[in-house]
Chain A
């Protein structure tokens, strides 16, 4: 399987990326880590007429702690974010999730922004984002806007990113000194892909999100009870484990 032909543009900054995308036409897409997009291109399920490569945008790769927020540049590699002391110290839920986001080789390239922008309902980072109500900072030809996670994920693989917009930053709340956070996922087998994900954050308040119940991650209450479906049973089991870990 090889991709269909496309034009290629290299951006060296976020604003240049936005401009290149606008110039490249309707079927242009951003290339971040490529770990989700390129497989789809190889299957020819995705056939962008042009790719704007973000991998040279140094201004999109950062982890900054600002008062009670952690700002992560969209092109920050997942492995870098996972090992960043600010992330580990102030958003352990995110660090735990990143550790589960794939093999090391994938996380060398995959980006924090890429996973969020992809909006795969069973992915680790969207569930964390919904749990903590992270904010997505989008930059487009019309300017910059911020969208909270509760509105950012629309449905499976569909986000609120508008044509021409670049997800440039994700902002997570910094956890307090007494925060307890736990990430749990379950697949069919130990080496298998996640079929359900649960994120628990016990800080100023108790926040829980689950992936696998709907076509996007959703907040669930602490007393969530499974009905008859398998996915609900998984979520209930993971919730029990996660809550216990946060005691």
Chain B
């Protein structure tokens, strides 16, 4: 067993974990944050994406022990208890989610993407969306949602 201490969504967390405990399972079952979803456990679908130490990672490919001493942010931290972010609002407006299972992973990836590339071209948006899998939507409305969110965020920043 390893003792770990980390900050999750701004709150201090600790636990005794087996080294093999996946970060996704630690977040879901020890910390109680169920918004991070497991779709494949081999790093392909991206549903489990969280931010660790400021960058998105696949939490099914990360051991909880590796987060020791660091910070983790999950989908729950995007809006917290406040209003939806521009990206979330755009997903809603544009009907970019159906069952919602893959959505947290997409939101985490896209939030980082829009921070890194505030004025993306459509080709860049498509590429950013191509790292995660969705079986319901066909991705079409996600492209629109990201385009609109990018414009919205640029307006807010001005």
A–B contact (CB under 8 angstroms): yes
Among candidates A8, A102, A109, residue contacting B131 with C-beta atoms closer than 8 Å: A102
One of B28-36, B40-48, B87-95, B149-157 at the interface: B40-48
Residue of A nearest to B48 (CB): A105
Interface: A214 (CB within 8 A)? no
CB-contact partner of A106 in B43, B65, B66, B113, under 8 A: B43
**Stretch of A32-40, A168-176, A216-224, A238-246 with 4 or more beta carbons under 8 angstroms from chain B:** A32-40
Residues on A with beta carbons closer than 8 Å to the beta carbon of B112 = 104-105
| Interchain nearest-CB distance for B146 vs A (Å) | 14
Q: Does B20 contact A4, Cβ atoms closer than 8 Å? A: yes
Q: Is B62's CB under 8 angstroms from A8's CB?
A: no
> In the bound complex, what is the Cα–Cα distance between A166 and B18 (angstroms)?
25
A51, CB-defined interface residue at 8 Å: yes
Contacting pair A39 B61 (CB below 8 A)? yes
B43 touching A39 by the CB < 8 A rule? yes
Any A CB within 8 A of the CB of B58:
yes
Counting CB contacts under 8 A, is A148 at the interface?
no
Q: Which residues of B sit under 8 angstroms from A6, Cβ to Cβ? A: 19-20
Instruction: Please give me the residue from chain A that is nearest to B2 by CB atom.
Output: A8
Write the nearest CB–CB distance from B1 to chain A, whole angstroms: 10
Whether B20 pairs with A5 at a CB distance below 8 angstroms is yes
Contact indicator A105/B19 (Cβ below 8 Å): no
A6 CA to B21 CA in the complex, in Å?
10
A247 within 8 A of partner (CB): no
Chain A: minimal CB distance from B17 (Å): 10
> Does the CB pair A8–B61 fall under 8 Å?
no
Query: Do the beta carbons of B43 and A35 come within 8 Å of each other?
Result: yes
Given contacts A3-B20, A103-B132, contact A53 B56 (CB under 8 A): no
User: Considering only CB atoms, which chain A residue lies closest to B133 in the complex?
Assistant: A191
Q: A4-B20, A5-B18 are in contact. Are A108 and B60 (CB under 8 A)?
A: no
Q: How far is the CB of B19 from chain A (nearest CB, A)?
A: 3
Say yes or no: A42 contacts B131, CB within 8 Å: no
User: Nearest-CB distance from A85 to chain B (Å)?
Assistant: 17
Chain B residues near A51 (CB-CB < 8 A): 19
Q: How far is the CA of A96 from the CA of B142 in the complex (A)?
A: 27
A109–B25 Cα distance when bound, in Å, is 19
**Complex Cα–Cα for A103 and B124 (A):** 12
Interface code B1-39, partner A: CB below 8 Å = 1, 0 otherwise? 010000000000000001110100100000000000000
Segment 14-37 of A: residues with Cβ below 8 Å from B: 34-35
Give the docked Cα–Cα distance between A102 and B44 (Å). 10
Which of A1, A8, A34, A55 contacts B19, CB < 8 Å? A8
Q: Is A229 an interface residue (CB 8 A)?
A: no
A2 on interface, CB distance cutoff 8 Å: yes
A104 with B20, Cβ < 8 A, contacts A8-B63, A38-B43, A43-B42 known: no
CA distance A191 to B129 in the complex (A): 10
Interface centre among B55, B61, B65 (most CB of A within 10 A): B61
In the complex where A8-B2, A42-B42 touch, is A191 in contact with B49 (Cβ < 8 A)? no
What are the 9 A-B residue pairs with the smallest beta carbon separation, nearest first? Answer: A103-B131, A8-B19, A39-B42, A38-B61, A108-B55, A105-B56, A3-B20, A42-B41, A1-B41
**Interface residue ranges, A against B (CB under 8 Å):** 1-8, 34-35, 38-39, 41-43, 51, 53, 55, 102-106, 108-109, 190-191
